[in-house]
Structure 1
Amino acid sequence: MTADKNTDEPALRRDDWGQAGVLSRAEAAADLVTRFASRVPPGTRLGTKDELRARCGVSVGTFNETLRLLQTRGVVTVQRGPGGGLFAAEQTPMARLAHSVLALDASQADVVQALRIRSALEPLLWQDALWHASPADIRELRRHLERMETAAEAGDANAFTRANWRLHAGVADLTPNALLCSLYVALLDLVERHALAVRPQPGVLLAQHVHDRCRLHAALIDTLDKRDEEALMRLIAEHDTTTTADAE
């Protein structure tokens, strides 16, 4: 195949490649619970997990994803035991900042700018991860990577996207800087909610592009394990140049 034909390789579209819509259902449920929480004072009990799941009309697996989104965004807190359930969280300045990012209208310009800011934050997050990741943290990142590789082999775009999201969110969780984590995850949410396609670099086959993304993230995780900051910074630069997205 010639280089010209390679450049015609279609984008990796979540709706065209494998199953579609799983993540959007979780997001829609998260938006619904967010509206509930916004109408009541902080600390108000919203209901049990099963009650809210039934109210949202989603499966157990989808609501687990919803709950993770809600907790990441600082919308709810979870209390165990009798009288427990989901409660409206106190809206900290960091949570309000994250919500302001998610409130953007997600025009193509918004997503492009979000990508630029997210890329600018990547070195800070990965550097913090280099010094704060425990062996257990690194094992968990490798599990996310394995899910990316499995999804790529199966042609499941949503699973690949979710695994990639979780890997990056997992890296963000390792920083002791709560503001950095909150802002980055909000930008990550915005990009993943509205990026419809992942495109390879010109002249690169789509399957090769997906393989390269897995390889790159494997190498990044290896640098955390080895505490190799020089190699980490080289790979972050490569990560930045290969990150592209198309917006609605």
Structure 2
Amino acid sequence: MTDSAEVPVAVPGTHLGSRADGAARKLQQLAERAEPGAHLGTKVRLREECGVSVGTFNEAVKLAQSRGYVVSRSGPGGGIFAAERSPIVRLGNSFLALDGSATSVADAVRMRDALDPLLVDDALWYSSAADIGKMRGSLADMAAARDGGDYVAFVRANWALHRQIAEVSPSVLVRSVYVSLLELIEAHTRGVGGTEAVPLPDYVAARHQLHVRLVDAIEAGDQSAARRLIAEHNNTETAR
């Protein structure tokens, strides 16, 4: 299955939302046919091709960007460009169907990533043996999902691990904000599709090992290793 075999997503709500999603899908199709980094066109030309208003087109661009298909650039030589699509974005778009709040999900992932280093630092100081045991339970769930080729279960076990790390923090504010962001991401994950194919097994195995090393560093109280690993994690993964 290629990335274009994404599950059709119904957009709840207004007619504007439906038109924005339709225009976003047209941008996605153009991006899929182009080389990464290719100039797809100016905003004016692409908006005219989509046949939508300026406001609807801007929302469509946000949707296509949040799904990892395009990049918008302003200034001379600007316009809409085909994005470099990381393996985790391809995985998410192939296997997880998001609802019409995809832009909110993208913002939630960015905020979650910004809080990760704070929560990892707290986990280094405050994790008990029981906390580490829970984290290793989620790692075992990730491994089982990896071995079974159930990549949606893998992502959900990954989320559970991050929730367990967050729950160690003594900061009620940081912990509650982070968990709320995870809940938003999960709430807008509507379904599963494309399970007839097995994508990116080597990548998923590498992600599992990165999380194993992260928990090892937390248990050992190795701050430099933990910070390096969470930076590597957030530089290579985008949530879905």
Q: TM-score, normalised by structure 1?
A: 0.53
Distance 2:159 2:131 in 1: 16
| Cα deviations by residue, 1:80-112 (Å, 9 ceiling, x for unpaired) | xxxxxxxxxxxxxxxxxxxxxxxxx86332122
Q: Classify the secondary structure of the residue corresponding to 1:244.
A: coil
Distance 1:121 1:218 in 2: 20
One-letter amino acid matched to 1:11: R
Which runs of structure 2 are paired with 1:6-17 in the superposition (5 Å)? Answer: 11-12=90-91, 16=95
Distance 1:8 1:145 in 2: 23
Query: Unmatched 5+ residue regions in structure 2?
Result: 1-34, 36-84, 192-198
Kindly report structure 1 stretches of 4+ aligned residues shifted beyond 6 Å. Answer: 7-10
Distance 1:173 1:219 in 2: 19
Which among 212, 217, 220 is matched to residue 223 of structure 1?
A: 217
Which among 178, 182, 188 is matched to residue 176 of structure 2?
A: 182
Q: CA deviation at 1:167?
A: 0.7
Query: Unmatched 5+ residue regions in structure 1?
Result: 25-104, 198-204
Is 1:126 the counterpart of 2:205? The answer is no
Q: CA deviation at 1:161?
A: 2.5
Determine what percentage of the aligned residue pairs are the same residue.
Answer: 43
Distance 1:163 1:109 in 2: 23
Q: Classify the secondary structure of the residue corresponding to 2:218.
A: helix
One-letter amino acid matched to 1:213: R
Give yes or no for contact 1:13–1:196 (8 Å, CA) kept in 2.
no
One-letter amino acid matched to 1:128: D
Aligned position for 1:242: 236
Distance 2:103 2:94 in 1: 22
Give yes or no for contact 1:145–1:214 (8 Å, CA) kept in 2.
yes
1:173 to 1:106, Cα distance in 2 relative to 1, 3 A: farther
One-letter amino acid matched to 1:126: V
Q: Classify the secondary structure of the residue corresponding to 2:238.
A: coil
Q: CA deviation at 1:157?
A: 3.0
Is 1:214 the counterpart of 2:179? The answer is no
One-letter amino acid matched to 1:131: W
Distance 1:126 1:114 in 2: 18
- Aligned-residue CA RMSD (Å): 3.1
Distance 1:162 1:144 in 2: 9
| Cα deviations by residue, 1:183-242 (Å, 9 ceiling, x for unpaired) | 101111122333589xxxxxxx71121111101100100111110001111111101012
Give yes or no for contact 2:112–2:182 (8 Å, CA) kept in 1.
yes
Q: CA deviation at 1:113?
A: 1.3
